[in-house]
Amino acid sequence: MNARLLPYVLILPVTLFLCLFFLYPFLLVSKQAFSTGAGFTLDNFREVTGYWKFPITMRNTLLLAAAVVPIQLALALLMATMVNRMKKGRDLVLYVWTIPLGISDLAAGIIWLAIFEQSGFLNSMMSGLGLVDKPVNLLTFQNPGIVFLAIMLAEIWRATAIMLVILVAGIGLIPKEYYEAAEVFGASPWKRFLRITLPLLRPSLQTALVLRVILAFEIFAVVAALGGTLFPVLMGETYAYQFDLLNSGAAAALALIILAISIAFTLIILRVLRVPKGATI
Amino acid sequence: MAQIEIKNVAKRFGTYQALHDINLTIQDQEFMVLLGASGCGKTTLLRIIAGLETATTGEVSIGGRRVDHLAPKDRGIAMVFQNYAVFPHLTVFENIGFGLRMQKLPNDEVKDRVERTAELMHIEQLLKRYSGELSGGQRQRVAVARALAMEPDVILMDEPLSNLDALLRMEMRAELKGVLATSNTTAIYVTHDQVEAMSMADRISVMHQGEIVQAASPIEVYRNPAAEFVAGFIGNPPMNFLPAAPAGDGKWTVAGQVMDGPRSGKPLKFAIRPEDMRPADEGLTATAKVVEPLGAHLLITCEVQGSMFRAVLDSDMSVNPGDQLTLAPQPDRMRWFDPDTTLAVA
């Protein structure tokens, strides 16, 4: 086998697979989004963006991402730094911390529903401690703050680990000598984190943030379990268009809007956290 | 004034004793080289002085001030690391200015000092580059400049030239020596390369198995090794050893020859440097095994009464493998070691 051709031959199966099961459906969805039966049109986009719920779902989705992702980033950085300092038991701690990764998002939503619902753990605890007379319904339209908080907590619990594992790997790649040099030249632990860890972690931060932000815009099952219709998000609306309203053109248009937002944020993250030429480890 | 005093410093890693009771005083502005094979504890000692490692017991003082409990930044030191540790995400300018920025010096002063040290190390044209765009030699210069920019009392160097190719190493050796001589800093330099140690040091501390075997000027270490280890470690080729049997009243029998030596009742080891042997009418009888013409001289590996023996002779001599030679040691260069303590006997 020709050595120059071999790499291309080896990636051929996965390329074909992706073309068949990703690119082709994507083209179909695009076609659906831009047509209503007769020729090219933007009607589907006009319909979904003109609907009264669209600004709310957009706002909710962005708000949730803005609230959850920075907290997850800070937590993941803190946890990764701590794990990295551990001499013994590091793997065990890492396994425990990444358990939520193995749970589906719907299951995660249901676990947190079991905590927050009227007959849930939180209510039993509060009545057990005598804080409330009778169990209260926390997840109602009267308590939008609590609904938002519950969704936030579930998301943080569920999806911080994906950033954690990426950052742990990234921190492990930074040579110890840089920290020693920084220490000798007068950098405090906090300064070492700011001036050594963060900048040298940029490639990992890029990956972790891109992945996490995309997932944040795709949030669906956790919101469905905890908020139902109280907290509409973009993906939930897409689902409603497709399966409740049976309007697949509008669903396709909304899906493309989500894709556009994801791509935009990905480009922003890649741009902001870019590493100048010659400045890699 | 930055005299460094190391008192009874020992270091243990788990069950491994890396350093045994080290005592060493390094004078202000002295260039001290810690020399030894890998694993001898020289880097550990340097890291203890730097504050990157804590001694299990003992004291370290710099300029009369105890520093063992101070953070590295409060010890008045700067360091050059073996792999340079030039920060990849900062430009050369910001690398050299890193310590100055940490001290929150005003921008003008940072700029001034960075440019001055960059000029000193001949890297002023590289200030805007990142380390990924530099060669090994240039990175080395950045690492040294970063240390010098701190204007430290003490500069610590951990095998700074070991990653450079031979030619560059020779060039940097001379340059580093010159720069440090004008900087008025006390320098501690760790290396396993004896040529580096001999050529740069004011004083060499030869280390072996976590102990300092000898601390003396390069020529003293070379001429009067304090122990068999030093004699066998320094010099290329190293000293020759032959068993010596007492023949009474300061006389010794070495390979059938009677020589003058120290007064001692028990058997000793006779030692001589290969270049201190001369062809003579009377002396040790040697059978040449390998002859290596090295240009400037002839290196001959021979056998003397069953022991391997090396001699460096004039390159005009014609010697062939199998030849019988009679070699006489230069009397004032003969050394004697006690085989039990391995220490020199005068």
User: Residue A14 has what pLDDT?
Assistant: 95
Pairing assessment for the beta strands B16-26 and B4-13 based on DSSP bridges: antiparallel
**In this structure, what is the dihedral angle of CA atoms B196, B200, B201, B204, given to the nearest 10 degrees?**
10
Which of A128-142, A153-167, B88-102, B153-167 shows the lowest mean pLDDT across its residues?
A128-142
Q: pLDDT higher for B249 or B187?
A: B187
* Mean pLDDT, residues B47-70 taken together: 93
- Chain-chain contact of B87 with A187 (C-beta, under 8 angstroms): no
Band (pLDDT 50/70/90 cuts) for residue B155 is: very high
> Where do the domains of chain B lie?
4-233, 240-345
pLDDT digits (tens, 9 = 90+) for B188-228: 999 999 999 999 999 999 999 999 999 999 999 999 999 99
Band (pLDDT 50/70/90 cuts) for residue A122 is: confident
- Chain-chain contact of A278 with B81 (C-beta, under 8 angstroms): no
Using the predicted structure, report yes or no on whether residue B77 has a pLDDT greater than 90: yes
Q: Select from B85, B130, B150 the Cβ nearest to the Cβ of A276.
A: B130
* Fold of the CATH domain B240-345: OB fold (Dihydrolipoamide Acetyltransferase, E2P) (2.40.50)
* Mean pLDDT, residues B258-264 taken together: 87
* Mean pLDDT, residues A13-21 taken together: 94
pLDDT digits (tens, 9 = 90+) for A220-253: 999 999 888 888 999 999 999 999 998 888 999 9
* Chain A residues closer than 8 Å to B52 by CB: 180, 183-184
State the Cα–Cα distance between residues B7 and B332, nearest whole angstrom.
Answer: 36
Question: Comparing C-alpha atoms, which of B108, B182, B178 is closest to residue B151?
Answer: B182
* Chain B residues closer than 8 Å to A202 by CB: 89
Using the predicted structure, report yes or no on whether residue A278 has a pLDDT greater than 80: no
Distances (CA, A) of B57 to B47, B51, B60, B63: 14, 14, 10, 20
Which of A121-135, B12-26, B64-78, B153-167 shows the lowest mean pLDDT across its residues?
A121-135
* Chain A residues closer than 8 Å to B62 by CB: none
pLDDT digits (tens, 9 = 90+) for B267-302: 899 999 999 999 988 889 999 999 999 888 999 999
> Where do the domains of chain A lie?
57-272
Band (pLDDT 50/70/90 cuts) for residue B1 is: low
* Chain B residues closer than 8 Å to A275 by CB: 89
Chain A from 150 to 209: CB within 8 A of any B CB: 175, 177-178, 180-187, 191, 196, 199-200, 202
Which residues, in sequence order, are CB contacts of B58 under 8 Å at separation 6+?
Answer: B6, B7, B8, B9, B10, B21, B22, B68
The token pair at A146 is 């609590």
Calculate how close chain A gets to B218, using CA atoms only, in Å: 30
The token pair at A209 is 């943030």
Band (pLDDT 50/70/90 cuts) for residue A39 is: confident
Strands laid side by side in the B186-191 sheet: B77-80, B154-158, B186-191, B31-35, B203-208, B211-216
Q: Select from A177, A275, A277 the Cβ nearest to the Cβ of B83.
A: A177
User: Residue A59 has what pLDDT?
Assistant: 93
* Chain A residues closer than 8 Å to B50 by CB: 184
Chosen from A180, A185, A188 to mutate, greatest number of chain B CBs within 10 A: A185
User: Residue B19 has what pLDDT?
Assistant: 93
3 state DSSP class of B187: strand
* Chain A residues closer than 8 Å to B78 by CB: 184-185
User: Residue A37 has what pLDDT?
Assistant: 73
Strand residues in B227-345 grouped as ranges (E):
240-246, 251-254, 257-260, 268-272, 277-293, 297-304, 307-314, 324-329, 335-337, 344-345
* Chain B residues closer than 8 Å to A186 by CB: 73, 99, 102-103
State the Cα–Cα distance between residues B27 and A92, nearest whole angstrom.
Answer: 50
C-alpha B34: how far from chain center:
5
Which class is domain B4-233?
Answer: alpha beta
- Chain-chain contact of B89 with A202 (C-beta, under 8 angstroms): yes
Question: Comparing C-alpha atoms, which of B145, B98, B104 is closest to residue B125?
Answer: B145
- Chain-chain contact of A182 with B130 (C-beta, under 8 angstroms): no
* Fold of the CATH domain A57-272: MetI-like fold (1.10.3720)
* Mean pLDDT, residues A115-122 taken together: 86
- Chain-chain contact of B50 with A184 (C-beta, under 8 angstroms): yes
Decide if A87 touches B, using CB distance below 8 A: no
User: Residue A135 has what pLDDT?
Assistant: 81
CA angle A128, A130, A136 (to 5 degrees): 80
Sign of torsion, CA B276 B277 B280 B282? positive
* Mean pLDDT, residues A13-32 taken together: 92
pLDDT digits (tens, 9 = 90+) for A43-83: 889 888 888 889 999 999 999 999 999 999 999 999 999 99
Band (pLDDT 50/70/90 cuts) for residue A276 is: confident
Mean pLDDT of chain A: 90
- Chain-chain contact of A200 with B88 (C-beta, under 8 angstroms): yes
Chosen from B48, B82, B87, B94 to mutate, greatest number of chain A CBs within 10 A: B87
* Chain B residues closer than 8 Å to A191 by CB: 102
- Chain-chain contact of A278 with B129 (C-beta, under 8 angstroms): yes
* Chain A residues closer than 8 Å to B146 by CB: 185
pLDDT digits (tens, 9 = 90+) for B90-149: 999 999 999 999 999 999 999 999 999 999 999 999 999 999 999 988 999 999 999 999
State the Cα–Cα distance between residues B73 and A46, nearest whole angstrom.
Answer: 63
Complex ipTM value: 0.86
Calculate how close chain B gets to A237, using CA atoms only, in Å: 44
Band (pLDDT 50/70/90 cuts) for residue B263 is: confident
Mean pLDDT of chain B: 92
Closest residue, chain A, to B143 (C-alpha): A181
Band (pLDDT 50/70/90 cuts) for residue A119 is: confident
Decide if A280 touches B, using CB distance below 8 A: yes
Strands laid side by side in the B277-293 sheet: B307-314, B297-304, B277-293, B324-329
Q: DSSP letters of A215-259?
A: HHHT--HHHHHHTTTSS--HHHHHHIIIIIS--HHHHHHHHHHHH
Question: Comparing C-alpha atoms, which of B39, B35, B46, B52 is closest to residue B9?
Answer: B46
pLDDT digits (tens, 9 = 90+) for B297-333: 999 999 998 899 999 999 888 889 999 999 999 999 9
Pairing assessment for the beta strands B154-158 and B77-80 based on DSSP bridges: parallel
